[in-house]
Structure 1
């Protein structure tokens, strides 16, 4: 009987120790998870393509860069200034013209390169210029209308959307190069 009573106590003590170890281990795992979240944040890509993809009003522009095969250029290093057309701006273009442009990769590349400048140029800097040479080779005409940047007649609705490799200025219509008209 003594042995049986000792066995029950031993079993109870073992069970209590296991529960205690489990609680400590659980607390340790929670602490480890908190530490990981605090010190090892998920790396967000902040290149031009990724920033544009996270900007709700640029869905059509993001799709255009994909169709043109130019997303990779927006991801790579090198600083660029990109004038991206808002979804509302794309909607102002007649549907048949928009669809025709989206389905002609060469023409789409020509138009989109006309929206890109080498180097990072914020709106304040561009407000003091009259024109800027694009990757496409032609110059965009720039104007300052009461502190708002006008690009080839298009209004900049959201300036200075920053990315790790440049800056995006959201505009309200689609500038088309002279060669593309």
Structure 2
């Protein structure tokens, strides 16, 4: 198997996320043993942001890191684990609302479009929106 970063690098549709993780200096953190649960926005999710947002964030690594760590939870939480809670605390420090219904679940304002992708140091859930704090 591979770690969270290696899976993102080698999976089509995560080039923006990978570039953002690199720009925010989070690669080494996400390569540690963790475990982590990552709500990973795909390229289409980043494309929904207003024009210029990604470039602005890449130019502001501290803010970018804060937004990215809002997508990460300490521990390995599967879809089944998430179905038992209303929220989880992000590594950034803020709670993230979880809403499970049937076979799908929502993470704040995003739908999970793929769940339970196993990594050596955690688990990845692909989401269709970038989740923003506040």
TM-score (norm 1): 0.71
Deviations along 1:126-167, one digit per CA (max 9) or x if unpaired, are 022100001100000000133211001200011111100000
Deviations along 1:75-113, one digit per CA (max 9) or x if unpaired, are 111200011100000010112222212221010000011
| Matching of residue 109 in structure 1 with residue 62 in structure 2 | no
RMSD: 1.1
- Spell out the pairing of 1:35-74 with structure 2 (5 A cutoff): 46-74=2-30
Higher strand share: 2
- Contact 1:48 1:166 (C-alpha < 8 Å) held by counterparts: yes
Following TM superposition, where does structure 1 have runs of at least 4 consecutive aligned residues deviating by more than 3 angstroms?
none
Higher helix share: 1
- Contact 1:127 1:147 (C-alpha < 8 Å) held by counterparts: no
Structure 2: gaps (5+ residues): none
Write the distance in 1 (CA, Å) between the matches of 2:80 and 2:66.
27
- Spell out the pairing of 1:89-104 with structure 2 (5 A cutoff): 89-104=45-60
Aligned position for 2:92: 136
Give the SS at the match of 1:63. Answer: helix
Structure 1: gaps (5+ residues): 1-44
TM-score (norm 2): 0.95
Aligned position for 1:176: 132
Write the distance in 1 (CA, Å) between the matches of 2:17 and 2:28.
14
Aligned position for 1:86: 42
| Matching of residue 146 in structure 1 with residue 102 in structure 2 | yes
Which range is displaced more, 93-102 or 168-177?
A: 93-102
Larger radius of gyration: 1
1:54 is displaced (CA, Å) by 0.8
1:122 is displaced (CA, Å) by 0.7
